[in-house]
Amino acid sequence: MVSGEMLEEARRLKEKRGAVVLAHYYVTPDAQDLADYVGDSFYLSRKAATLDCRTIVFAGVRFMAESAKLLSPDKTVLMPEPSADCPMAHMVRRETVDAARAQYGDDLAVVCYVNSTTEMKALSDVCVTSSNAVGIVRDLPQNNVLFIPDMNLGHYVATEVPEKNVILNDGFCPTHESIDVAEVDEARAAHPDALVLAHPECGAWVLEKADVVGSTSQLIDAAVASDAREFIVCTVYGVIHELERRTEGTGKRFFFPRTTPVCPNMARVTAERVLACLRDGTGEVGLPDESIIARSTAALDRMLEMAR
């Protein structure tokens, strides 16, 4: 928990800078406590596009702050921890996209998970998040879909939309990929009445064990709505803060696999970093090269339009 002094300093600095703080569920609990809005990637993308402020402080990893800048180019966007990056964002090559377009022509849609670089967004037809990927892919007119960069979310989409030919890239989230199905079984043996909640960035072997598969927000909503009292959570540990906040007083309990899934990049984003960013205006995110701004922004805008 952050102190009252930190909350007051954050309030004063936000007023001075005309700033709004956005935080992803995966950053540290104290950083979430300083935020004006906390959510998953889709919620924060929509929020960034509509905020009435001069400055956005994005407590998350680089692709999130870059997307916010693309959607709000006239605002100053700051990262509390500029080194916080997403390894999966870099796990796709332009050659993969070019080869698919050459093979399938106009009957191919390149669908880009927002956990990607601006350059890859610019090569894509539409962006998606884990909360809207299935619906957007289903509604695309093309029969063939190259899903980049996450093979696990892509595989989940393929199982949910079997009428499409979903072509997978070999990228993955190291934190979700490392969740061990044996540890999920171990947790379920210890808590036989628990529901298993899993993010689709997990491997298929974990998703097969899950009672609920969904984005971070969807998993939180499922836990809040469920009559179950115990849950095994297969996603990044930072979500515990919102789960406990939303279910306070209900007696619900949350368990994670024995090897706790922690994103090392998200874990760098702390309340102290957020305050330093507000004080000093550090970590400013710039716009990319003009040649890709329009194309990458169009892929994000199309996501927001199709997911309404």
* pLDDT above 90 (res 290): no
Residue 84 has a pLDDT of 97
Asked if residues 260 and 176 have their Cβ atoms less than 8 Å apart, the reply is: no
pTM over 0.75: yes
pLDDT in tens, 7-32: 999 999 999 999 999 999 999 999 99
What's the CA gap between 35 and 99, in Å, rounded?
42
Give 1's pLDDT tier (boundaries 50, 70, 90): confident
The mean per-residue pLDDT over the stretch 92-106 comes to 98
pLDDT of residue 114: 95
Give 2's pLDDT tier (boundaries 50, 70, 90).
Answer: confident
Return the minimum-mean-pLDDT range out of 265-269, 272-276, 288-292: 288-292
Query: What is the model's pLDDT at position 116?
Result: 96
Q: In this structure, what token pair is assigned to residue 86?
A: 């997403």
How would you list the strands of the sheet with 126-128, edge to edge?
Answer: 126-128, 108-113, 144-148, 165-168
Q: Please give the average per-residue pLDDT across 72-94, as a whole number.
A: 96
**Using 50, 70 and 90 to split pLDDT, how confident is the model at 289?**
confident
SS3 of residue 303 by DSSP = helix
pLDDT tens sequence across 217-243: 999 999 999 999 999 999 999 999 999
CATH homologous superfamily of 179-260 equals NadA-like (3.40.50.10800)
Q: Where are the domains of the chain?
A: 4-85+267-280, 88-172+289-306, 179-260
Which conformational region is residue 283 in: left (phi greater than 0), alpha (psi within -120 to 50 degrees), or beta? left
Cα 229 to its chain centre, rounded Å, is 26
User: Which residues contact residue 285 at a Cβ distance below 8 angstroms, ignoring those fewer than 6 apart?
Assistant: 58, 62, 65, 66, 68, 69, 77, 78, 79
Burial 15-38 (b: 16+ CB within 10 A, else e): eebebbbbbbbbbbbbbbbbbbeb
Would you tell me which CATH number, out of the four given (3.40.630.90, 3.40.50.10800, 3.90.1170.50, 3.40.50.12160), belongs to the domain 88-172+289-306? Answer: 3.40.50.10800
Instruction: Give the residues across from 37 on adjacent strands.
Output: 22
**308 falls in which pLDDT band (50, 70, 90)?**
confident
Q: What is the mean pLDDT of the chain?
A: 96
At residue 291 the predicted structure's pLDDT band, cuts being 50, 70 and 90, is: confident
> Could you tell me the pLDDT band of residue 216, with boundaries at 50, 70 and 90?
very high
Residue 67: pLDDT over 80: yes
* C-alpha closest to that of 79 among 287, 304, 274: 274
41, pLDDT greater than 90: no
pLDDT tens figures, 152-183: 999 999 999 999 999 999 999 999 999 999 99
Backbone angles phi, psi at 98, to 5 degrees: -60, -40
Strand-by-strand arrangement of the 55-59 sheet: 37-39, 19-24, 55-59, 76-78
Q: Which fold has domain 4-85+267-280?
A: Rossmann fold (3.40.50)
The one-letter amino acid code at 97 reads V
Structure confidence by residue, pLDDT tens digits, 117-158:
999 999 999 999 999 999 999 999 999 999 999 999 999 999
pLDDT at residue 29, as a whole number: 96
Q: How far apart are CA 72 and CA 57, in angstroms?
A: 12
Query: Cβ of 139: how many Cβ atoms within 10 Å?
Result: 12
Which residues are paired to 77 by β-bridges?
56
Residues 6 or more apart whose Cβ sits within 8 Å of residue 57: 19, 20, 21, 22, 78, 79, 80, 274, 277, 278
